[in-house]
Chains A and B, each alone.
Chain A
Amino acid sequence: MTPFLRRQRALADFTLAALARRKGKNIALIAVYSVVVFVLASAMFFAASLRFETTTVLEGAPEITVQKITLGRQDLIEGSVADEIAAIRGLTEAHPRLWGYYYDRINGANYTVMVPDDPEMMPDPGQIAIGEGIPRARGLEWAGAPVFLSRYEGDLKKFDVARTFSRDSALMTSDLMLMNEADFRDFFDIPEGRYTDVVARVRNPNEVATIVQKGSNALPQMRFVTRADIARTYQKLFDWREGLLTALAFAGILAFVIFAAEKASGLSAEEAREIGILKAVGWNTRDVIAMKMWEGGLISLAAFLIGTVAGFAHVFFFGAPLFAPILKGWAVIYPDFPLSPHVDGLQLLTLALLTTLPYIAATVVPIWRTASADPDAVMR
């Protein structure tokens, strides 16, 4: 070992012995510090994973969705509008869709009911395909149990479950119910020729803006939603949500900052005396600061490692159980989805710097002031 390393090792030993003398206080400090890092790291991992999955999966979302707006609300659209839209140059196809929400009077859940465009996905009359959340919300324990839907008191309609979407796609399909078109029109009393909205596919994605411009001119009462709009909505939503979690953690962080600042800057008389003695026996200012750097470094590194390791396990191995109640809100159905493991290296580095550097600085700065003073004055 080089003399430099041997010196640092000895300093570390000395620091640990000093920390061990105030064992209770320092263990409490590391515990609180770790919890702060844990909350921040969990929020970061959780948001990064959700953001990653949503943005990846929504690349498959329809390029253009056209809605009819009446009295400020979305209204049913005539099927003929699809032909008018399809006539816009640059579009390869446009077809009307049927979908909507169904409020389940039995358990208070909302389902998203949809008629698939794809004939392969279309269930037979009297059958439905459902997401994993519906049997869970309904308490349908056995496979093949039919679903009874009721629109008003005394009304009961039976549907056989042809297919249940797996947990793998739960983030997108948890509350989904696919229905045959005839069943849909009959159940929700939608007249023939009316639809919920129209989706369109474009030939060249770069032309979307021009096509929307042309479409809005031709059909001014329609609202055009593009895939970029959807992506923007989610970008905003996740920024907002992450900010909110950080805001929730902010109170905790603030308490910690006060705690750490008190501990670090409000140098106890005992610590000041210790520094005075060290200087009196021949330590120079650099040694004292190096020792304090070790102290801050060891504490913050330990807290960062414990908090991050625990936060990662909390989110990816246990499915973030601490966040679920906040995110569930009032919804009866909350998707039971696997969080896709995804780590943003830059975010992790930011977390490391934001949590360790301020603490080290808060420890070293007041010490530097004391250490550069005359030992006699400090000890007295």
Chain B
Amino acid sequence: MRRSSYVFAGLGALTLLLAVELYYPVFARPHRDGRLLEERRLVARLGLTDPALFTEARYTRNPSLADLNTPFQDHPGSFDHFPSGTFVPPPATPGKGWLLFQPEAAK
């Protein structure tokens, strides 16, 4: 056998493996969708707003409901205490505008 036959066979086997893996989500879809539907129903019944990925602080457990000042929750200018603060970006503050005043005469 030629050398390339082995290599092509190996690459073919890997491609087949990848194809099987990519088919797996399709195969697992009914189960997954059933599970997610159940979970979604539970979320709706309980009114949950956030996944329980980081449970150590208010602003990492419920980032969507946390106060807007959460990165400085203990005193202004304090450093983030928890490593998860690295993963949970600070909330988007709405205020980016300027409040401008004009002298009376310029109006």
Listed in ascending order, the chain A residues whose CB lies under 8 Å from chain B are 9, 12-13, 16-17, 20, 53-54, 56-62, 65, 67, 69, 72-74, 97, 101, 109-112, 114, 116-118, 121, 131, 133, 165, 168-176, 178, 197, 199, 225, 229-230, 232-234, 236-237, 240-241, 244, 298, 301-302, 305-306, 308-309, 312-313, 316, 327, 329-335, 338, 340-343, 348
Distance from A177 Cβ to chain B, minimum over Cβ atoms (Å): 11
Given A13-B4, A329-B56, A332-B55, check contact A305 B43 (CB 8 Å): no
Interchain pairs with CB closer than 8 A, number: 200
Q: Does B99 contact A (CB under 8 A)?
A: no
Other than the given A174-B55, A233-B64, A329-B82, 7 more pairs (CB < 8 A) read: A53-B39, A57-B39, A172-B51, A178-B46, A225-B65, A244-B87, A333-B55
User: Taking each of A20, A97, A329, which has the highest tally of chain B beta carbons within 10 Å of its own beta carbon?
Assistant: A329
Q: Which B1-49 residues have a C-beta within 8 angstroms of A?
A: 2-4, 7-8, 10-11, 14-15, 17-18, 21-22, 24-25, 28-29, 32, 35-36, 38-49
A131 is contacted by which of B7, B41, B52 (Cβ under 8 Å)?
A: B52
Contact indicator B55/A110 (Cβ below 8 Å): yes
Contact indicator A230/B52 (Cβ below 8 Å): no
Q: Does B92 contact A (CB under 8 A)?
A: yes
Contact indicator B49/A335 (Cβ below 8 Å): no
Distance from B22 Cβ to chain A, minimum over Cβ atoms (Å): 6
Chain A residues with CB under 8 Å of B4's CB are 9, 12-13, 16
Contact indicator A341/B14 (Cβ below 8 Å): no
For this complex, 20 residue pairs linking A to B, each with C-beta atoms less than 8 Å apart, are A65-B49, A72-B67, A101-B61, A111-B55, A112-B61, A165-B42, A169-B42, A171-B39, A171-B52, A174-B55, A229-B64, A230-B50, A308-B18, A316-B21, A329-B56, A329-B84, A330-B84, A331-B54, A333-B55, A341-B24
Q: Determine the residue in chain A with the shortest Cβ distance to B22.
A: A343
A169 is contacted by which of B2, B10, B39, B67 (Cβ under 8 Å)?
A: B39
Given A241-B87, A313-B21, check contact A73 B45 (CB 8 Å): no
Given A57-B39, A329-B87, check contact A342 B25 (CB 8 Å): yes
A117 to B60, CA, bound (A): 24
Chain B residues with CB under 8 Å of A65's CB are 49, 65
A234 to B89, CA, bound (A): 10
Chain A residues with CB under 8 Å of B67's CB are 69, 72-74
A61 to B42, CA, bound (A): 10
Given A171-B39, A240-B87, A340-B36, check contact A61 B49 (CB 8 Å): yes
Given A72-B69, A329-B83, A331-B55, check contact A168 B11 (CB 8 Å): no
Chain B residues with CB under 8 Å of A312's CB are 18, 21-22, 24
A97 to B40, CA, bound (A): 19
A308 to B15, CA, bound (A): 10
A101 to B60, CA, bound (A): 12
A174 to B35, CA, bound (A): 15
A338 to B35, CA, bound (A): 10
Secondary structure of the B contact surface, majority rule: helix
A349 to B17, CA, bound (A): 17
The proximity string for B residues 73-91 relative to A, scoring 1 for CB distances below 8 Å and 0 otherwise, is 0000000001110111101
Contact indicator B54/A117 (Cβ below 8 Å): no
A298 to B55, CA, bound (A): 46
Closest 9 CB pairs of A and B: A60-B44, A329-B84, A305-B14, A341-B25, A60-B43, A230-B64, A174-B52, A329-B83, A60-B40
